[in-house]
Structure 1
């Protein structure tokens, strides 16, 4: 599976079963209730695009830096507490366009 659309499903967290999606490239999990990224999210080595807009993310975790193929990371309308953490993430991942 390369594309997964899970928007508007009241999802609170990504289940560990996501680890089976080794070839996932595009994930739209917007308009849910996700408040953090699990440590195992770094396993999505083929991921190219993630849309977390209108979720509940308050922090950006370092695991996202390891996603070398990630180009757009969409974080619009999340309660990200530290704008500086997003700025640091941008400098650590120059290949990734981050929208917040």
Structure 2
């Protein structure tokens, strides 16, 4: 919403460019977005194994999809980004990552 308001303030009606999105959605913004979900995880391990980078990419892609309209098929295609992410828990037991679904 903040991004869209900035676009409207400057009378920009086109979809944001990749550069605009990259500048707006930093890793810190991604952490804020995912704060509730990442509270039980070890953020340092997420960074070391590359999962945090994948989550940032995922958020950017979702942002692009939702900016103009909701497209459930496009969202489902994003599974490829997060499918093999390993999420290390603070406890070290990593129960969720070991689940076989």
Say which structure is richer in helix: 2
Say which structure is richer in strand: 1
TM (norm. structure 1) is: 0.26
TM (norm. structure 2) is: 0.26
The structure with more radius of gyration: 2
